């Protein structure tokens, strides 16, 4: 198990994602953050292009409404 967790930590670090272990998902006090997420502010132009190309018009409209 320890080897699996260490591998997950290594991969998580490489991709900038966090890793949390927990004894009981419903109990915050059992959560243990092993790797912190690396937050990135995306380029607005690239994000807009991604939304336009990858998401449906309905999803695009919902995002626009949520931002206004």
Q: Domain limits of the chain?
A: 1-37, 41-68
pLDDT of residue 52: 84
CA distances from 49 to 43, 44, 58, 63 (A): 10, 9, 16, 13
Report the predicted TM-score, pTM, of the whole model to 2 decimal places.
0.54
Dig out the tokens for 65 from the structure.
Answer: 């409404």
Instruction: Look at residue 27 in the predicted model and tell me its pLDDT.
Output: 96
What's the helix, strand, coil split of the chain in %, to 5? 55, 15, 30
Task: Tell me whether strands 31-35 and 19-22 are parallel, antiparallel or unpaired.
Answer: antiparallel
Q: What whole-number distance in Å separates Cα of residue 56 and Cα of residue 63?
A: 11
pLDDT attached to residue 19: 94
pLDDT of residue 14: 92
From first to last of the 68 residues of the chain, give the pLDDT tens digit.
889 999 999 999 999 999 999 999 999 999 999 999 998 899 999 988 988 899 999 998 898 899 88
């Amino acid at each position: 198990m320890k080897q699996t967790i260490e591998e997950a930590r290594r991969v998580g670090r490489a991709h900038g994602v966090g890793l949390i272990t927990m004894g009981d998902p419903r109990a915050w006090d059992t959560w243990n953050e092993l790797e912190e997420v690396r937050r990135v502010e995306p380029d607005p132009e690239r994000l807009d292009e991604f939304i336009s190309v990858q998401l449906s018009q309905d999803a695009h409209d919902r995002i626009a409404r949520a931002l206004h």
